[in-house]
Amino acid sequence: MNYKNIVLATSNKGKIDEFSAILQPLGFKIRLQKEFKVKDAEENGLSFIENALIKARNAAKFANMAALADDSGICVDALDGMPGIYSARFSGEHGNDIANNEKLLELLLPYKKISQRKAHYVCALAYVQNHKDPDPIIAIASWHGYIAFSPKGSHGFGYDPIFMLENRALSAAQIPPQLKNLMSHRALALFELKEKLRLRYEQ
């Protein structure tokens, strides 16, 4: 099996462009799981890593090739880590960014100081050579900041308009996409994964 041919466990074309930009220099070719009619896995893990592995193994099994998956979200200290792995469906409707943001802001209304609103984005990546791979490659990274009192900015997606960066008076939705792609949780996890893949396959 050619372990450099990878099925990406998502139907988001934007992600394949982002992942390919990082991994193509190592000779990896990435394809979306919908090309292989892979059905979405049931994300019943209790952590970002568990869910990334579930999705990667599911895609590898049905596409019969190496697979890569990510699971990401935002964790708020004052809410004991919520919304966490439920970030995309926090409001009850999967992928409704506006509703998710509004619910989070409402829950944080009692917290009047920005110092009480610490939060961090998390991205976990899992690469498997096959669906039974006992030694998956895992990369995880965080991006720390605070939850703002109202949305700001027009870039990005998800919780970016209300995620204020550490040491910057800007939200993640106010910084240029090129800068975000160098400092975000997903970018940092991808750079870590790239190095781990290089060490495994380039020796």
* Neighbour tally for 143: CB within 10 Å: 23
pLDDT of residue 84: 98
Tally the C-alpha atoms within 13 A of residue 62's C-alpha that lie toward its C-beta.
17
* CATH number of the domain residue 107 falls in: 3.90.950.10
C-alpha span between 191 and 189 (Å, rounded): 6
36: helix, coil or strand?
helix
How many domains would you assign to the chain?
1
pLDDT along the chain (203 residues), means of 10: 87 80 89 91 95 97 96 97 96 91 98 96 97 97 97 93 92 92 92 94 74
C-alpha span between 67 and 55 (Å, rounded): 9
Q: Which two tokens stand for residue 125?
A: 């990546």
Q: Which two tokens stand for residue 116?
A: 């009480």
Q: How far is CA 183 from the centre of its chain?
A: 13
Question: Per DSSP, what are the bridge partners of residue 126?
Answer: 69, 138
Task: Return the biggest CA–CA distance within the chain.
Answer: 55
The residue to which tokens 């869910």 are assigned: 51
pLDDT of residue 88: 92
Residues 6+ apart with CB under 8 A from 155: 172, 173, 174, 175, 176, 177, 180
pLDDT of residue 1: 65
135: domain range?
5-201
C-alpha span between 60 and 131 (Å, rounded): 5
Rounded alpha-carbon distances, angstroms, from residue 150 to 14, 81, 139, 171: 27, 20, 32, 10
pLDDT of residue 133: 97
pLDDT of residue 109: 98
pLDDT of residue 203: 59
74: burial class by Cβ within 10 Å (0-12, 13-18, 19+)?
Answer: buried
Cα radius of gyration rounded to whole Å, the chain: 17
* Catalytic residue IDs: 71
